[in-house]
Amino acid sequence: MLIGMFHEAWSAMGANRMRSLLTMLGMVIGVGAVVLMMAIGQGAQYAVEESINAMGSNLFIVLSGGTNTGGVRSGSGNAPSLTAADADAIRELPGVAAASPSQQGSAQLVHGALNWNTSVIGAVPDYLEVRSWPLASGDPFTASDLRSATRVALIGQTAAENLFADEVPVGKTLRIGQAPYQILGVLARKGQSLDGRDQDDVLIVPLTTAQRKLFGTPFQGSVRSIMVKAERPEIMPQVEIAINDLLRQRHRMREAQENDFSVRNLTAVADSAAETTRVMSLLLGAIASVSLLVGGIGIMNIMLVSVTERTREIGIRMAIGARERDVLTQFLLEAIIISVVGCLIGLALGVGGAALINILTDTPVVISGSTVLVAFSVAAATGVFFGFYPARKAARLDPIEALRYQ
Amino acid sequence: MTILPIPAPVIEILGLYKDYQTPVGPFPVLKEVNLIIHAGEFVAIMGPSGSGKSTFMNILGCLDRPTSGAYVLEGQDVAQMDKDATARLRGQALGFVFQGFNLLPRMSLEDNVALPLVYCGIPKEERRRHARTLLAKVGLEDYAASLPNRISGGQQHRVAIARALVNTPRLILADEPTGNLDSHTSEEIMQLFSALNREGITIVLVTHEPDIALHAERQVRFLDGRIVHDAPTHASTHHFAASGTVC
């Protein structure tokens, strides 16, 4: 029975092809716009989340304070107030997963005929966990490397490509100045940071090696910053307080004295960026939904015209045995076919458009199953909702009145 | 030709009234109509415009309801039925041949003929087969795929009859079946009705042309909403011959 009605609805639409297509166009544009906007919005969200993940999550950064020499204040990180021992103490706090001091500089790396300038980070073995940064190959350096300040290094992908070209870096030796450094491992690719820096253009050496043999430091053991990773995002406020208390105690600070360090929460910054893009993608979706609504009203409009125009046909159908519900079903099916077919075309155009934007402008786009599902069910619901009133109007017609209609 | 009295009437109409609501109050169209039609009869309903015969046909066809009185169709009281039940009657017990044929213009003749079967839930292949059989019966099997506007009025009429026959109804109602047709085509159509009647189908048709009514076995005349004449055709032939057959 339903198949019969489907056929009736389909052939009625075929009889008015141009009008059905134009009505469908409203739906096509609506769904296409929703899918495209959601794809771009979610793509932006994805990009932000990616860079947050690349940076490492649940992160604090503890910076040493500035100096104040006769009223001239230096920026944070210039006073030699933080030490590697502070990092070791922080690591013992409850709720802290890992902590690593780091010392950063840059150096000219040489391997065979190639050379490359890159940033060098002096760190402890914990650093890789803090940054959520696995190795692509090889092994990390160990605590004993740190103790004896051996000349070993982990190399980032970009630096490795520029220095070793097609060679396998692990086990090879590079030079910084005249000193040889053995490559223990290659870091996994991490991509761009939020500020657009290439995080893979890096060399990581033991902190002690960096301080004693590479950069040198006036205060042995002091570091500019310590990165701390909390176990879970929820406990970050408690961990922040604990770090504060611990460091004040270790630095023997008096009650009213200002901190000689500062603790910053990196995740909060990243979260607000993610929130911003989420709101943006929601907004885009909302604007696009308006066109979906307009498309739905277009369907209702055309269906109403169609019911009026086909009053006589409805009368004939009723006179030869169509029940109210048969007429209702037929017109409802017409509306649903228009919106579902329109939706499918819209989906195809939206996905195609998103892919095109991705290829042409390199903007990240994400098409999630839920977007497709939502767009599809909204379209079907639109068909039912806006098709129902005209269909009911048709079904309620009096057969005699309808037959007399010219 | 003799009419054999058949005990079970197809149509029983008792004390039927129909009023139309107008701004100045109800306007009576049918007043105290009583009529019994037995299975296998061929009845012509006649009368001038405004005599209520079309309204009467709409009620017979279960398209309209009487204001009061009883209409019993094959033992079922139509006045007591809900809309779905009357729709089922229209689709299965009755075949209606409309004045303007009322074919759906954008459908092939075959689909037009098969349309009533859609509402009986008959599968497509069977509908098609049945529709072709009936088109053959009215001599139009070669036009199955044509659209209604590609054929003549007489052919359209035969299609409308085929459609009325498609669900093997026991009763066929025809409203002015020869309205706009030339006398030759009218004759053909009436031959078709007579043939169907010989197969045992009850036929009720409305006409204002006396020579058309001659094909029926019984003539019923309406005037001002009442039946004023009800007699076998051979008895009334003389009456019309006397009043002149020019129409």
pLDDT at B237: 47
- For residue A39, the model assigns a pLDDT of 87
Question: Hey, where are the domains in chain A?
Answer: 2-52+272-404, 80-259
CB-based contact B102 A323, cutoff 8 Å: no
Condensed to tens digits (0 to 9), the pLDDT of residues A237-246 reads 888 889 888 9
Interchain pair B167, A321: CB under 8 A: yes
Overall average pLDDT of the A215-223 stretch: 75
Can you give the pTM of this predicted structure?
A: 0.65
Q: CA of B15 to nearest chain A CA: how many angstroms apart?
A: 22
For residue B241, name the pLDDT band (cuts at 50, 70, 90).
very low
Chain-chain contact of A324 with B87 (C-beta, under 8 angstroms)? yes
Taking the CA of residue A389 and the nearest CA in chain B, the distance in Å comes to 20
Which residues touch B95 (CB under 8 Å, ≥6 apart)? B163, B164, B165, B166, B167, B169, B171, B172, B173
Task: Give the three-class secondary structure for B172.
Answer: strand
Res B247: pLDDT:
33
Chain A positions in Cβ-Cβ contact with residue B116 (cut-off 8 Å)? 320-321
* Res B45: pLDDT: 93
**Alpha helices by DSSP H, A157-251:** 157-164, 207-209, 236-250
Distance CA B112, CA B148 (A): 9
Would you mind telling me the total number of residues written for chain B in this entry? 247
Q: How confident is the model at residue A1 (pLDDT cuts 50, 70, 90)?
A: low
**C-alpha distance from B119 to closest chain A C-alpha (Å):** 6
Contact residues on chain B for A321, CB-CB shorter than 8 A: 87-88, 90-92, 116, 119-120, 167
Contacts of A126 (CB under 8 A, 6+ apart): A91, A98, A99, A100
CB-CB neighbors (< 8 A) of A324 in chain B: 83-84, 87
What pLDDT score was predicted for residue B239? Answer: 43
Confidence at residue B238, expressed as pLDDT on a 0 to 100 scale: 44
Question: What percentage of chain A exceeds 90 in pLDDT?
Answer: 7
Q: So what's the pLDDT on residue A153?
A: 92
Average pLDDT over residues A13-20: 78
The β-bridge partners of B222 are B227
Cβ distance A319 to B96 less than 8 Å, yes or no, reads yes
Interval A11-40 mean pLDDT: 83
User: pLDDT tens digit string along B106-120?
Assistant: 888 998 999 888 888
Residue with tokens 């005990």: B7
Query: Mean pLDDT, chain A, as a whole number?
Result: 84
pLDDT in tens, B173-208: 998 877 777 888 888 888 888 998 998 899 999 988
Question: Quick check: A78 pLDDT over 70?
Answer: no
Average pLDDT over every residue of A378-403: 86
Q: Would you kindly state where each structural domain of chain B is located, as residue ranges?
A: 103-168
Check residue A11 and give its pLDDT: 74
Q: Which residue has the higher pLDDT, A56 or B68?
A: B68
Contact list, B83 vs chain A (CB under 8 Å):
323-324
Averaged pLDDT score across all residues of chain B: 84
Instruction: Supply the pLDDT for residue A152.
Output: 92
